[in-house]
Chain A
Amino acid sequence: SSDLTQDPAVSVALGQTVRITCQGDSLRSYYASWYQQKPGQAPILVIYGENNRPSGIPDRFSGSRSGNTVALTITGAQAEDEADYYCNSRDSSGDHVVFGGGTKLTVL
């Protein structure tokens, strides 16, 4: 089980906007990060902090937070965005890292 809950699968039509969510009590206190993982590859960081993108991440990726829920939004999804997406943060103690179970994004 995970302290962070994600929908297992989400789909989006090419060029449309999709929102992937992550819920957990610790998110009321700590920021989350988002990772993209394609088959056979290591995860890459796409969003961190309040809404920050590492260098090289397209600006169609954005993050938000409300209460105990954080969201990753892809505005104008592209075929290459099809991947698994994981959120992570700290647990309620603040000492440990937790990951969400992951969301498989399909771009139709």
Chain B
Amino acid sequence: QVQLQESGPRLVKPSETLSLTCTVSGVSINSNSYYWGWIRQPPGKGLEWIGNIFYRGSTYYNPSLKSRVTISVDTSKSQFSLKLSSVTAADTAVYYCARLNNGYGSYPFDIWGQGTMVTVSS
């Protein structure tokens, strides 16, 4: 079955760069049917979209985070990655990677990773 798994440091210092990778299995990342996205959820709060990437490299970012976010894809490893620079305590959150299905009309995130908690602290 399709699985997404986040990996990366759980603790990041303020002003540094948060880096996470999502490994995709059970489906080709090289598909015209999907985008690949990152979503985060601060403790006790709601979901916030960070950005999406298509396997050919086109990206879409949340305007409120765009200046600090880079999402990239490595099709040879079936992975896509998130970098968020100049982090502060406000970036502490559970970070999810997810598959966005662009064949479903409403472009839903139909498969999610389990999420990884990243804490920004010195």
Q: Which residues of A contact B (CB under 8 A)?
A: 2, 30-33, 35, 37, 42-45, 48-50, 52, 54, 86, 88-90, 95-102
Residues of B within 8 Å of A89, CB to CB, are 106-107
Residues of A contacting B36 with CB < 8 Å?
A: none
Contact B48 A99 (CB under 8 A): yes
Q: Quick check: B112 and A54 within 8 Å, CB to CB? A: no
User: Is B52's CB under 8 angstroms from A48's CB?
Assistant: no
Residues of B within 8 Å of A44, CB to CB, are 112
Could you list some 15 contacts between A and B, CB below 8 A? A33-B107, A43-B47, A48-B108, A49-B104, A49-B106, A52-B104, A52-B105, A90-B107, A96-B49, A96-B63, A97-B60, A97-B107, A98-B49, A99-B39, A99-B49
Question: Residue on A with the closest CB to B112?
Answer: A42
B: residues with CB less than 8 A from A are 37, 39, 46-49, 52, 60-63, 96, 100-101, 104-110, 112-115
B104 and A99 contact, CB distance less than 8 A: no
Distance in angstroms from A4 CB to nearest chain B CB is 10
Chain B nearest CB from A6 CB (Å) reads: 9
B47 contacts A99, C-beta separation under 8 Å? yes
Instruction: Give the complex CA separation of A36 and B96 in angstroms.
Output: 15
Q: With A42-B96, A48-B110, A54-B110 as given contacts, are A96 and B105 in contact (CB-CB < 8 Å)?
A: no
- Decide: B52 and A97 in contact? CB cutoff 8 A: yes
Q: Which of A43, A90, A95, A97 contacts B37 (CB 8 A)?
A: A97
Question: A45-B108, A48-B106, A50-B105 given as contacts; is B62 within 8 A of A96 (CB)?
Answer: yes
Contact A86 B112 (CB under 8 A): no
User: In the complex, what's the smallest C-beta–C-beta distance from A62 to chain B, in angstroms?
Assistant: 14
- Decide if B108 touches A88 in the complex (CB within 8 Å): yes
Residues of chain A within 8 A of B105, CB atoms compared: 31, 48-50, 52
Q: Across the interface, which residues of A come within 8 angstroms of B110, CB to CB?
A: 45, 48, 54
Residues in chain A near residue B109, CB distance under 8 A: 33, 35, 43, 45, 88
Picked from B60, B101, B114, the residue with its CB within 8 Å of the CB of A96 is B60
